[in-house]
Amino acid sequence: MKRRMLAVLCAFVLLCTVTATAHAAVEAIDFSRKGTISLAMNYKGTPVPGGSMTAYRVAYAAKVDTGYALIYLAEYESSTYGLDHFNEPGMAQELAEITNEKGVAGTKKTIDGTGKVVFDNLELGLYLMVQEDRAPGYHVVEPFLVTVPGCDNEGHYYYEVDGSPKLALEPKPETPPPPELPDTGQINWPVPVLSTAGAALFCGGWLLRRSGKKKHED
């Protein structure tokens, strides 16, 4: 259980991956509040609309003094990653694989025409963000993690979190269409020619047969 708990008093400590003893929030966390995660998809500053994003709650927040600890939900207790440094490389990908294997339900939303999507009325905790449907012409964004609430440098909690991916989207090269063969007419021309030739041979054979029969009678 200790490995599953995040021993920190502030979400800022989580994001900076420093120890809990170094920082503490200056206010008590409000567990009666819900949170919001806002995402803005862009490529080099240009909004990228289309596709979808799904939010999965992988850990819940438990009160610890004036702060909180994160504890894995039952579906994710098999994770090999602890929650003391949740931004370790490979952690989000492993949690995404667990999500897929166990068929965990999430909240899926379409990215709007301005490249934005908002998840509101969220319970406090750690969320896995997965792009299951990519934006047209772009690669899928790698899974990433977002905590609700966040905490600023002064130890104040905020419940409206900007969870925009830190890495810009990358365009996906278009696959060129297969080359078209020139229309030479080579496929269609034998049909009428062979049909005409067949009819001519039939008529010729019929005439020769009739001519031979007539001579025999004479």
CB 171 within 8 A of CB 48: no
Categorize the per-residue pLDDT at 208 as very low, low, confident or very high, splitting at 50, 70 and 90: low
Mean pLDDT for the stretch of residues 175-199: 56
Q: Give the predicted TM-score (pTM) of the model.
A: 0.69
Q: Which residue has the higher pLDDT, 164 or 3?
A: 164
Measure the CA angle with vertex 96, ends 92 and 100; round to 5°. Answer: 170
Q: What is the pLDDT of residue 144?
A: 94
Query: Could you tell me the CATH superfamily of domain 11-162?
Result: Immunoglobulins (2.60.40.10)
148: confidence class by pLDDT, cuts 50, 70, 90: very high
